[in-house]
Amino acid sequence: MNRPFGNLPHEPCCLLRWKSMFIEVEPDPTVPASNEQIYWCSQTQVCVGPDGKVAAPKTCHPARSCYSDTA
């Protein structure tokens, strides 16, 4: 699974989704890394979580009231 947030100091919420997580291919080291992804919350099905804040790897952290570490 593609993990565009591997260098964050926290594990993002398990409810965070992005398109490439559903594509099973081996990473190509010749292709430059890009974080131009669109994220959404699987609970709300939109780009903001239940708390009204943006759903993204940097913002979906354990301090948020809607954070989940289990899917």
pLDDT number for residue 1: 44
Cα distances (angstroms) measured from residue 16 to each of 10, 28, 29, 32: 13, 23, 25, 23
Question: How much is the pTM?
Answer: 0.73
Where along the chain do its domains lie? 10-22+37-71
Structure tokens belonging to residue 40: 């959404």
Longest dimension (CA), the chain: 39
Distance CA(49)–CA(64), nearest Å, equals: 9
Distance CA(69)–CA(9), nearest Å, equals: 15
pLDDT tens for 15-51 read 999 887 777 778 788 877 666 678 999 999 999 999 9
pLDDT at 11 over 60: yes
pLDDT number for residue 4: 58
